[in-house]
Structure 1
Amino acid sequence: MGSSHVDGLLSQLSQGDQDADPLEDAVAAQPRAALLERHLLGGQKQPPSSGCGPFFYIGGTNGASIINSYCKSKGWQRIQDSRREDYKLKWCEVKCRDSYVSFREGEQLLFQLPNNKLLTTKIGLLSALREYSRVLSKISKTSSGAQAKLGKGPAPSLEQLTWMPTRPGPQRILKMEDFFPETYRLDIKDEREAFFTLFDETQTWICKPTASNQGKGIFLLRSQEEVTALQAKTQSIQDDPVYRRMPFRAPQARVVQRYISNPLLLEGKKFDVRSYLLIACTMPYMIFFGHGYARLTLNLYDPCSEDLSGHLTNQFMQKKSPLYVLLKEDTVWSMEHLNRYINDNFRQTKGLPRDWVFTTFTAQMQQIMVHCFLAVKSKLECKLGYFDLIGCDFLIDDNFKVWLLEMNSNPALHTNCEVLKEVIPGVVMETLDLALETFQKSLCGQRMVPLLSQRRFVLLHNGETDVWPRLVGSPSGPRLAPRPCQAAPASPAPLARAADRPGARRPGEPRSAQVRPRNTERPRADPKDPAEEHHEERRPEDHRGS
């Protein structure tokens, strides 16, 4: 491979991939006593404002028109000043520390959990999954030892059991290697050296910044020349005295991941599937799964091609092609279209069940999402009014094995093709409906289910049976006192119900059947967890949805 290509890789490495976490720990520093006192006394005095409210603020353009229409349909008024604190809803692409410091719990809705980086950065997700695997392994050994002392047969361990909303009873929980490609951190010397030692040219690897989107900063590693150049560059950066003084070592904040070189192809093109993990409420946790769409490349798949647009399926990469304007409708398929194609082309040859997409594949995506959520459940910052929508990208290989590629904060909510016009508005509106309904019910001390606004999203985890989430920094913080509630405002007319769709609730099935019957609370994490070593957030210019 030419030296010019290696130089290109090195120039990408030399660019700072991340900024330091703008939130730091300022949110946790807010006095809890003052927070509770404010709620018990009925809230703080509102600053003077024009109009009668309620007010909403939208920061950025990603999904802005849909959110704006939704809020105005409720009679809410949009404000343009991001510094105002008298809002009912604030939806921003870029997280701002001030939003969390001034946030009034139980009075406001704020999009994006402050520390969602535990799921939505490559290093955060990798570290969380590794730690969760260690915890499950330790609990499994402890459980087996206790059973042996009692003279009983081995009981099912946490590592063997999990819960799924679409399957009765417990199932074997996933192991990390079952769904997550082999990955190494370049910012940790031992891992970096382990990767450089094991690399050989029979495998392709992909190098990614920990917290970027739209394919920025990504490159493939195929040759020993490229890996040697990467090794030399990382060493020179580490030896630089300026770098040693950096609190956040941006150029090193990368991972290398084994590239899935045998993807399933649709009409000869590589694709992945974007699905959604909705955290509608954090007190208690109400976690949902939502179907999205399939994203295809414009070009036929060539594993030897150096053109990244044939390897990365996101729209940002595909838009670089001059053919995109003419062929953009071919780059996004609905889940129904994907299901028909797999039924027609692979069902018999691969021995798949009918509607594999809406049965086996959907169940596997849900199980992976539950596993990832449980890995960070005890670490996420929980306040009544926080909610989040996370884009989850899955790849299917030619053996129909399902892989989780990454999770993304601020997922793309653009509607620039017909399929997205059908999918995205429903996702955004149901997200807001569920966030509002669960917020109101939690505030009033009402049971969460049934949820009148639940349409296409599937409930994965109902935290009503959990130990009530503590206030930030308080393992045993009290639940906010329920307030006298007026009748909840009527929900907007629901979209066409999808209960008869595979992957959704079936007619006649009680909603309570979707409630998780029991929960296993994982222990508090070691404060020295490697995931906390990096607090990178994406730069503002990168927050255009991924």
Structure 2
Amino acid sequence: MEIKRVTCSTPGHQLTVFLQADCTQFIPFSGKPREGVFPTSEVELDKTRPCGLPEKQSEELIREVPMASGPYFYISGSNGEGLVSIYCQSKGWQRIYDNRRQDYALKWCEIKCRETYYHFKEGEQLLYQIPNNIVLTSKIGLLSCLREQEAHKKEDFQLVFQLSRRLLKMEDFFPESFRLDLKKERNAFFGLILFAEEEIWICKPSFSNQGRGIFLLKNPSAVTTLQAKFSKSEGDPPSKRVHCKVPRTRIVQRYIDQPLLLEGKKFDVRSYLLIACTEPYVLFFAQGYVRLSCSNYDATSDDMTVHLTNQYVQRKNSLYSQLKDETIWRMEHFNRYINEKFGKSNGLPRDWVFTVFTKRMQKIMLQCFLAAKHKLDRKLGYFDLIGCDFLIDENFKVWLLEMNANPALHTNCKVLKDIIPSIIYESLDLVLEIFTKCLKGQNVLPLKTLCKFVLLYNEEASDPSQKKRWQLNTKLYTGRYLRPQTDITAPYRYSPTKAAGLSRSPAAPEEKVPPYCLQRAVSKLS
């Protein structure tokens, strides 16, 4: 294979480009995550990085395929990198490596950059992550939206929950919370120092993920210590306040100290909310997996691996290397366990996990989205995949812990190697099909690529009065960066037997999606 080195003149500097002599085939990318690099979640627009080259990327390492026909896709970061690349290559798309190029069809970035959104061409391109998704995925943003919803009960929320459908009370699914960035709320919380000794609170940074910066407040003395840190910061001159070790952008929540346990271990459930389109809004629910701790639960333990179940924290446990595959359960495994251990003794219906629990998660997800809907930026081409974490207490009450932007899409254990690829592939299938239908002015439903996901919300059906506006707007768009057109209506099957190689095989063109996949809709939430 002949490699040619060509120097191209671009404004401000010389760009070294490597071209393959025969560009009819795309050079495959390994997709292997860089060691020690973990996904970033719930970050603000990156204002520090210049608009030029990506972080830690030299000009000599920029690889292009300019002679091959598009569409083109760009990926930044390691989270889901290999799987997204495999999907796009299966469509015949070509990967580009220069983040300044604006002729991409799909851009998948784990860190948001202001320039990316500034140059985004609505109706022509697809872009992962809604620019201001922090209104839904940051702790303070979600708390604020839910409080506003609770207080105002706006009409557009009621349109979805018609007749017998009602909004849940916030206290029924979201732990009592206080914002530490607001002095009034901060003082209200510190005024609770007289609470009983056995009550535990958990303090979380608003814009962090992977359990970083989280600690427990187990007694009044711990609360007093935290209060003293804030008081000292307030008394310091402005030039020194930035050095406060406890950031103000935090919340404290009442800790659910009596969770349901699996084999004596604490767990939570990671599910997914796909915002496949924002103009109009089209949302889907996807089952995820169960995350367990390595050690048995003890509410009084100072070991955070006992209290936080995510993989980033569990890696710090000395037992992780032995129990890695046991810290992740399939939902089917979880369902069987609940049926056998708790079904009769707790009076639960058969398959409680896939009926009562799943519907509860869906209803909570939809309610949270509706609380933030009017704040999210909307453009045809924006889409988002959000990780939602739920906890079940010993009384089988379901609690929402948090919603995460750019959820971890790594496949570091057997279960995740089967689950994560199908999540990514069906997400992109649905995003592409809906985007194409919007460009053509067609109805969103039915969807040929809908299989395991469940439709939660279709604004086109919920608000028909806006349909003419959407159709009028889409007449201005051409989707030119997606040309030459590829077949995006045939869903792809993921073969578990090929999980180690991260490969996938296309479904036969004549194969039809099982009818049951098209029968699940919002009407089943209540």
Q: Same fold (TM over 0.5)?
A: yes
Give the letter aligned to residue 99 of structure 1: T
Matched, 1:82 2:99: yes
1:63 aligned residue: 80
* Kept in 2: contact 1:382–1:469 (CA 8 A): no
* Kept in 2: contact 1:277–1:391 (CA 8 A): yes
Give the letter aligned to residue 431 of structure 2: A
Aligned-partner SS, 1:212:
coil
Aligned-partner SS, 1:207:
strand
1:479 aligned residue: 473
Percent identical pairs in the alignment equals 54
Matched, 1:326 2:314: no
Structure-2 separation of matches of 1:510 and 1:314: 30
2:53 aligned residue: none
* Kept in 2: contact 1:455–1:495 (CA 8 A): no
Unaligned runs of at least 5 residues, structure 2:
1-40, 49-63, 496-512
Shift of 1:324: 1.3
2:169 aligned residue: 175
Structure-2 separation of matches of 1:48 and 1:360: 50
2:217 aligned residue: 221
Deviations 1:25-60 (A, max 9, x none): xxxxxxxxxxxxxxxxxxxxxx99442111111111
1:204 aligned residue: 200
Cα gap change, 1:366 to 1:57, in 2 (>3 Å): same
Matched, 1:241 2:248: no
Give the letter aligned to residue 430 of structure 1: E
Matched, 1:51 2:68: yes
User: Which has the larger displacement, 261-270 or 190-199?
Assistant: 190-199
Deviations 1:63-97 (A, max 9, x none): 11111111111111111111211111100110010
Cα gap change, 1:493 to 1:434, in 2 (>3 Å): closer
1:457 aligned residue: 453
Structure-1 separation of matches of 2:517 and 2:451: 14
Counterpart mapping for 1:263-302 below 5 A: 263-302=259-298
Aligned-partner SS, 1:91:
strand
Counterpart mapping for 1:2-401 below 5 A: 21-22=45-46, 49-136=66-153, 158=158, 162=161, 170-199=164-193, 200=195, 201-242=197-238, 251-401=247-397
Shift of 1:513: 6.4
Aligned-partner SS, 1:342:
helix
Cα gap change, 1:178 to 1:60, in 2 (>3 Å): same
Cα gap change, 1:117 to 1:99, in 2 (>3 Å): same
Shift of 1:322: 2.8
1:494 aligned residue: 492
Structure-1 separation of matches of 2:515 and 2:67: 48
Aligned-partner SS, 1:349:
coil
Structure-1 separation of matches of 2:43 and 2:389: 24
Shift of 1:426: 0.2
Structure-1 separation of matches of 2:73 and 2:338: 43
1:426 aligned residue: 422
* Kept in 2: contact 1:462–1:516 (CA 8 A): no
Cα gap change, 1:243 to 1:476, in 2 (>3 Å): farther
* Kept in 2: contact 1:298–1:324 (CA 8 A): yes
Cα gap change, 1:357 to 1:23, in 2 (>3 Å): farther
Deviations 1:296-346 (A, max 9, x none): 000000111000000000000111123212210110000000000000000
Shift of 1:401: 0.0
Structure-1 separation of matches of 2:44 and 2:409: 26
Structure-1 separation of matches of 2:70 and 2:246: 42
* Kept in 2: contact 1:284–1:468 (CA 8 A): no
Shift of 1:467: 5.2
2:28 aligned residue: none
User: Which has the larger displacement, 255-264 or 48-57?
Assistant: 48-57
Structure-2 separation of matches of 1:377 and 1:19: 19
Shift of 1:194: 0.8
Matched, 1:408 2:374: no
User: Which has the larger displacement, 293-302 or 47-56?
Assistant: 47-56
Give the letter aligned to residue 437 of structure 1: E
Cα gap change, 1:58 to 1:51, in 2 (>3 Å): same
* Kept in 2: contact 1:183–1:256 (CA 8 A): yes
Cα gap change, 1:89 to 1:266, in 2 (>3 Å): same
* Kept in 2: contact 1:390–1:408 (CA 8 A): yes
- TM-score, normalising length: structure 2: 0.78
Runs (4 or more) in structure 1 with deviation over 4 Å come to 17-21, 243-246, 466-470, 475-478, 482-488, 506-510
Shift of 1:514: 2.2
Cα gap change, 1:374 to 1:139, in 2 (>3 Å): closer
Structure-2 separation of matches of 1:222 and 1:250: 17
Give the letter aligned to residue 521 of structure 2: Q
1:511 to 503, 508, 518: 518
* Kept in 2: contact 1:283–1:469 (CA 8 A): no
Shift of 1:492: 4.7
Aligned-partner SS, 2:152:
helix
* Kept in 2: contact 1:468–1:479 (CA 8 A): no
Structure-2 separation of matches of 1:72 and 1:19: 28
Deviations 1:160-200 (A, max 9, x none): x826xxxxx74232011110000000011111111111132
Shift of 1:442: 0.7
Cα gap change, 1:415 to 1:429, in 2 (>3 Å): same
Structure-1 separation of matches of 2:471 and 2:444: 21
Shift of 1:239: 2.8
Deviations 1:374-428 (A, max 9, x none): 0011111110100000000000000000000000001010111111011100000
Cα gap change, 1:288 to 1:19, in 2 (>3 Å): closer
Shift of 1:238: 2.4
Shift of 1:508: 5.2
* Kept in 2: contact 1:277–1:290 (CA 8 A): yes
Deviations 1:226-282 (A, max 9, x none): 111110111222233326997x99810000000000000000000000000000001
Unaligned runs of at least 5 residues, structure 1:
1-16, 25-46, 141-156, 164-168, 498-505, 518-546
